[in-house]
Structure 1
Amino acid sequence: MLFERLQKPSHLILLTGLLAISLPAPLFANPDPAKSRKASEVLVAELAEDESVEDVEQSVPRTTAERENKALKPHPSRTGAGIDTPSAPARKVAPNIDLKEVAPAPEAQATAPAENTADTTGSELPDAGAGTESEPGPELRPGEAFTLLGNDVMPGTSTRLAWAPGIQIAGLSQPTPVLVVNGVNAGPTLCLTGAVHGDELNGIEIIRQTVYDLNPEKLSGRVVGIPIVNLPGFQQGSRYLPDRRDLNRHFPGSPEGSLADRIAYSLFENVIRRCDMLVDIHTGSLKRTNLPQLRADMNNPEVAEFTRGFDRMAVVHSTGSPGMLRTAAVAAGIRTVTMEAGESHRIQQHQISAGVNSLTSLMERQGMISRMFVWGDPEPVYYDSDWIRADHGGILFSEIELGARVSQGEILGYVSDPITNAQHPIRSSSDGRVIGMAVDQVVMAGFAAYHIGTEAEVPGE
């Protein structure tokens, strides 16, 4: 399938009390018919501990030997997850809609097994082979119905469903939209989650642009997108849930725990476990911004291999922390990475385009789509990384930009004391590239201001 990329940012509009977005700007296609399938090297960095940077976790060092000698543990087969079987009868056939069209918000459905009330026999079922006659392909297998949130999404269709964790005040419950594209052909299930932290907006648009451009009649497998996981936090412009907890520290959750535990449990059991692959999209926190990058446990061979599908995206080694969605999903046998792009509270089209391009290349590498796609040159390897802290309090003024290459001793910025007029330079501790940094703001001594990734040779070379 020929995939097209957005050139201009879309304009945001209000849709049913949620962030819905108008049709994309004019599209363009890559005219080069050649496909370059060269395998880009795995790009690895090791995160430094920083207690004041919440999206940076202390990691177990990357162990190349362990990765090479460790046998691949076969995770439970997830093929056909959510597919209707005689032991799991269909309950409701989801309507086939064009996701680009403005439509009323979907109503949440009960997720417990219920009696089948929809007639899904005979001619009521869409033809699984529709739209594939011109592109037969010997390796393609017909898709099947995908059961999610009490609905059967038929092959070759797309729809909007709704997830509700059932923890709101009665009468004030507001479901969270779930976008589903079930391909006409069989294949893996990819899940995309955004705004687990309610103030991280770039991921919302990355998911919208990625999912809305999919053609179910030319898709193998399924894509499930939840643009806004933390809807209460999003509505308040807050990173956290109403109980002031960080949702990304409570997975896989508990049905009898705190508010965060219950929301995490509902999402994990009703949606996440239905997927084979997961990309959880975040931004920098605490007035910081991140160069587009992946966070992945490179000690896990399946996850390390999974990262090879993302074009033009640096990979930073991070084993993750207990309670993170990524950690819980990997433990459940789901190949998972965290994507970081930009800063919170903002829509940044350059960061969004990088995320969309990488997700599209991932789907192409996984055999879910086919497009005229030229693989880019691999990013440098970031083997070591350090946060450089301010030694004085004052107002931070940066001299460099995100992504800049810097030399040891180079001045990255100044901390200016507004009372004494003293200027305190912050210098790079090594040669490398700025993969994360704080925006200009008032800082105190010890504030982590610049995240420097240092290049290293590809392991094994």
Structure 2
Amino acid sequence: MLFERLKKPSPRILLIGLVIPWLSAPLLAETDSAKASKKSEVLIAELAEDESVEDVEQSAPLQTKGKDNKAPKPKAPQGGAGIDTPSAGSRKVAPNIDLKQVAPPPEAQVSAPADTDADAAESEVMATEAVAEPEPQPEIRKGKVFTLLDNDVMPGTSTRLAWTPGIQIAGLSQTTPVLVVNGINAGPTLCLTGAVHGDELNGIEIIRQTMYDLNPEKLSGRVVGVPIVNLPGFQQGSRYLPDRRDLNRHFPGSPNGSLADRIAHSLFENVIRKCDMLVDIHTGSLKRTNLPQLRADMNNPDVAEFTRGFDRMAVVHSSGSGGMLRTAAVEAGIRTVTLEAGESHRIQQHQISAGVNSLTSLMERQGMISRMFVWGDPEPVYYDSDWIRADHGGILFSEIELGANVSEGEILGYVSDPITNAQHPIRSTTDGRVIGMAVDQVVMAGFAAYHIGTEAEVLGE
């Protein structure tokens, strides 16, 4: 009997078995529908966020320019082999900052779109600021957007960008700050480069002080400054690159050459070709000091005219050597001079002040700034110069000072032999002015100790 009861299901059990599925079916359907709806909402939210980020990165610069929201065409790639150059679609509006403020180390531009909430929020703020900026008025805001290193620098703003050759040195990527001041009015582009030799410090401060004093609201044109080109050399206190090459003998560079070739190529293609004018700032080398002076090819009429804009700056004629930044830039149609001031491994305020004054006069002469500038007496042009070398080894003791006028046969200094006490005079071989000289030090026979410039008239005067 018990077996038969278990074998035959009770009517109550059958009824419950039928009712429970009937009641639970709508609940399960509702739950599945809710899950599907929730999943759909998440997908829609994620899609909207991705579209927002993409829109900011691609469209914000175009809105500022007053164009439609279509994605811009990609730029032709620049730079050497192994250098990642973002496309035009990844350009962003460079922030307007005070260059004198303390800033974190520069970061290279990343071409991939950001996918984090923080990056999206930051990009949206940037887009809002760009859209909210009033439309430029032709009669007031005549400047143009300046595109450099995949950033759009708006007229009337200053910013700090980052240049990297895209080459890792000992596993480390070197990123160098690039200062940009884009004037509110149209004008030429002046570029300033310093520390192409890493131990030459005066040029770094000349560029920084010059650019910190610029007001983009009163500037016509734009100024681009790269205070430290050879960052690895600067960090090591060395004139050369880590591969022991002189960077200033490898311009315009090559994308497939040595380390120096690749760095030179990256700088030249990504920055220098944007320039109308270039001043490459250096100091004396190997414990030598230079009178503030320009090195320029005075046989080039455009370059000769360009030198007249520098106040209180002597000019030394030099056609330049192959591989120099100045030579490569002139061959590319850019008016270029080398500015020499002081000695390496030192910060010399009087030399820095002379350089800043000279660059200020240049910008005034080019119509980029308008200031009450008092011009000094014009400095001579030296079409010829001679290096006077030591004939003996020993300790150098100079008898004259930098900038002194000397006569042929005049004693410039002595080389003293500390072993025998013999004194060996060094005499000038020509009349002229001391435009460069070695500081007192131990020298060997044949060491170039004094640079004597022979004065000549300026062409056309």
> What is the TM-score of this pair, normalised by structure 1?
0.76
- Show CA shifts across 1:366-389 (max 9, x none): 111000011111112323211111
Question: In structure 2, how many angstroms separate the alpha carbons of the residues matched to 1:178 and 1:107?
Answer: 11
1:277 and 2:277 correspond: yes
SS in 2 for 1:350: helix
For residues 232 and 367 of structure 1, do their structure 2 counterparts lie closer, same or farther at Cα, with a shift above 3 Å needed? same
Cα offset for 1:257?
Answer: 0.8
Cα offset for 1:285?
Answer: 0.6
1:385/1:451 contact within 8 Å kept: yes
Question: In structure 2, how many angstroms separate the alpha carbons of the residues matched to 1:111 and 1:247?
Answer: 28
Corresponding residue for 1:363? 363
1:403/1:434 contact within 8 Å kept: yes
SS in 2 for 1:235: helix
Question: In structure 1, how many angstroms separate the alpha carbons of the residues matched to 2:412 and 2:189?
Answer: 43
Corresponding residue for 2:188? 188
Cα offset for 1:422?
Answer: 0.5
Corresponding residue for 2:245? 245
For residues 112 and 192 of structure 1, do their structure 2 counterparts lie closer, same or farther at Cα, with a shift above 3 Å needed? farther
Corresponding residue for 1:331? 331
SS in 1 for 2:330: helix
Cα offset for 1:445?
Answer: 1.5
Q: State how many pairs are aligned.
A: 369
2:141/2:155 contact within 8 Å kept: no
For residues 158 and 453 of structure 1, do their structure 2 counterparts lie closer, same or farther at Cα, with a shift above 3 Å needed? same
Mapping of 1:358-397 within 5 angstroms? 358-397=358-397
> Is the deviation greater in 354-363 or in 446-455?
446-455
1:229 and 2:229 correspond: yes
1:108 and 2:116 correspond: no
Corresponding residue for 1:79? none
1:450 and 2:453 correspond: no
Mapping of 1:106-255 within 5 angstroms? 106-110=106-110, 119=127, 123-125=131-133, 128=136, 142-169=142-169, 172-255=172-255
SS in 2 for 1:203: helix
Corresponding residue for 1:411? 411
Question: In structure 2, how many angstroms separate the alpha carbons of the residues matched to 1:391 and 1:351?
Answer: 30
2:413/2:427 contact within 8 Å kept: yes
Mark the runs of 5 or more structure 1 residues left unpaired by the alignment.
Answer: 1-82, 131-135
For residues 439 and 126 of structure 1, do their structure 2 counterparts lie closer, same or farther at Cα, with a shift above 3 Å needed? farther
- Show CA shifts across 1:84-103 (max 9, x none): 99656572011110011112
Cα offset for 1:354?
Answer: 0.6
Question: In structure 1, how many angstroms separate the alpha carbons of the residues matched to 2:112 and 2:446?
Answer: 50
1:93/1:120 contact within 8 Å kept: no
Mark the runs of 5 or more structure 2 residues left unpaired by the alignment.
Answer: 1-64, 76-87, 115-122
RCO higher in 1 or 2 (8 Å CA, sep ≥ 6)? 1
Cα offset for 1:170?
Answer: 8.6
Cα offset for 1:290?
Answer: 0.6
Q: Which amino acid aligns with 1:414?
A: Y
Q: Which amino acid aligns with 2:339?
A: M
1:205/1:227 contact within 8 Å kept: yes
> Is the deviation greater in 294-303 or in 165-174?
165-174
Question: In structure 2, how many angstroms separate the alpha carbons of the residues matched to 1:164 and 1:105?
Answer: 12
- Show CA shifts across 1:22-74 (max 9, x none): xxxxxxxxxxxxxxxxxxxxxxxxxxxxxxxxxxxxxxxxxxxxxxxxxxxxx
Question: In structure 2, how many angstroms separate the alpha carbons of the residues matched to 1:112 and 1:435?
Answer: 51
SS in 2 for 1:260: helix
Corresponding residue for 1:318? 318
> What is the TM-score of this pair, normalised by structure 2?
0.76
1:200/1:343 contact within 8 Å kept: yes
For residues 354 and 121 of structure 1, do their structure 2 counterparts lie closer, same or farther at Cα, with a shift above 3 Å needed? closer
Q: More helix by proportion, 1 or 2? A: 2
Question: In structure 1, how many angstroms separate the alpha carbons of the residues matched to 2:444 and 2:343?
Answer: 20
Q: Which amino acid aligns with 2:340?
A: E
Q: Which amino acid aligns with 1:149?
A: L
Cα offset for 1:439?
Answer: 0.8
Cα offset for 1:264?
Answer: 0.6
For residues 377 and 113 of structure 1, do their structure 2 counterparts lie closer, same or farther at Cα, with a shift above 3 Å needed? farther
1:163/1:176 contact within 8 Å kept: yes
Q: Which amino acid aligns with 1:182?
A: N
1:84/1:145 contact within 8 Å kept: no
Cα offset for 1:123?
Answer: 3.5
Corresponding residue for 1:350? 350
For residues 399 and 156 of structure 1, do their structure 2 counterparts lie closer, same or farther at Cα, with a shift above 3 Å needed? same
> Is the deviation greater in 169-178 or in 146-155?
169-178
Q: Which amino acid aligns with 2:131?
A: S
SS in 1 for 2:321: coil
Question: In structure 1, how many angstroms separate the alpha carbons of the residues matched to 2:288 and 2:256?
Answer: 35
Cα offset for 1:405?
Answer: 1.4
Cα offset for 1:356?
Answer: 0.4
1:381/1:458 contact within 8 Å kept: yes
SS in 2 for 1:309: coil
For residues 422 and 128 of structure 1, do their structure 2 counterparts lie closer, same or farther at Cα, with a shift above 3 Å needed? farther
Cα offset for 1:298?
Answer: 1.1
For residues 113 and 103 of structure 1, do their structure 2 counterparts lie closer, same or farther at Cα, with a shift above 3 Å needed? closer
For residues 102 and 95 of structure 1, do their structure 2 counterparts lie closer, same or farther at Cα, with a shift above 3 Å needed? same
Question: In structure 2, how many angstroms separate the alpha carbons of the residues matched to 1:458 and 1:268?
Answer: 31
Question: In structure 2, how many angstroms separate the alpha carbons of the residues matched to 1:210 and 1:112?
Answer: 35
SS in 1 for 2:353: helix
2:166/2:173 contact within 8 Å kept: yes
Question: In structure 2, how many angstroms separate the alpha carbons of the residues matched to 1:337 and 1:381?
Answer: 14
2:315/2:380 contact within 8 Å kept: no
Question: In structure 1, how many angstroms separate the alpha carbons of the residues matched to 2:98 and 2:422?
Answer: 59
